[in-house]
Structure 1
């Protein structure tokens, strides 16, 4: 199992943070283009799921799989979007994304007077705590082959 990337978007579609751990292939476009493409895709999938669902959704869209990776999605009540790509063997990680939001993001960004809300996250403390948390997860490989 492995974790590839993490994107954090605000409610307006601005990518506030991006990091990668085991990403082996780059997209071939600028990071800004990749962020716009990712946000647009998430927005479209959420809209599609809400409109096509045969029942009322409590949770909505939380993940999808391709033949190469799984995209995991968590949205906060305030509209923050946390997107983590993993390999296909990773199960439901909604709790992991919620933990990143509620423990790491809230503690080291929201409560940090040096972090300006709505601006890219540059806090080294946030980056270090996030990296430590993700590397400690059972879904993070101890070695890459």
Structure 2
């Protein structure tokens, strides 16, 4: 099992942070275009799920999967969106995404007076804490095939 990549978006669709670990295939477009495409897909997916669900969805859109990967989604009350792509063997990781938000983003970005909210994250401490956390996950594998 492995983690492919992670996106953090603000409420307006700006990509605050992007990181990748085991991404085998690139999109073939600029990162800015990739971020816009990903955010647009998330916006559409959330809307689709909210409108088409046959039952009340108190948590809304959480994940979707293809035959090759699984996209996990977590949105905070303030509109920050955490998106992680993993392989198919990874189950529900809502708690992992919440941990990234509450214990890494809040601690090393929100509480950091040198970080501007709604601007791309430039904090090396945030990046290193996030990377260490991801690499320490039980489903992270540096040797994923």
> Shorter-chain TM-score category?
over 0.9
1:9: which partner in 2? 9
Distance 1:59 1:22 in 2: 29
Separation (CA, whole Å) in 1 of partners of 2:112 and 2:24: 33
Query: Aligned pair in 2 of structure 1 residues 144, 52: CA closer, same or farther (>3 Å)?
Result: closer
Deviations along 1:78-112, whole A, 9 cap, x unmatched?
A: 11000000000000000000000000000000000
SS of equivalent residue, structure 2 residue 61: coil
**Equivalent residue, structure 2, for 1:32:** 32
Tell me which residue corresponds to 2:104: 104
Superposed CA offset, 1:4-38 (max 9, x none): 00000000000000000000110000000000000
Cα offsets for 1:58-96 (capped at 9, x unmatched): 111000000110000000001100000000000000000
Which residue number in structure 1 is paired with residue 71 of structure 2? 71
Q: TM-score with structure 2 length normalisation?
A: 0.98
What's the counterpart of residue 47 of structure 1? Answer: 47
Return the alpha-carbon distance in structure 1 between the equivalents of residues 11 and 55 of structure 2: 25
CA RMSD of aligned residues (A): 0.8
Return 5+ residue gaps in structure 1 as ranges: none
TM-score (normalizing by structure 1): 0.98
Superposition deviation, residue 143 in structure 1: 2.6
- 1:128 equivalent in structure 2: 128
Q: CA deviation at 1:56?
A: 1.5
4+ runs deviating over 3 angstroms: none
**C-alpha contact 2:2 2:142 (8 A) present in aligned 1:** no
What are the ranges of 5 or more consecutive residues in structure 2 without an aligned counterpart?
Answer: none
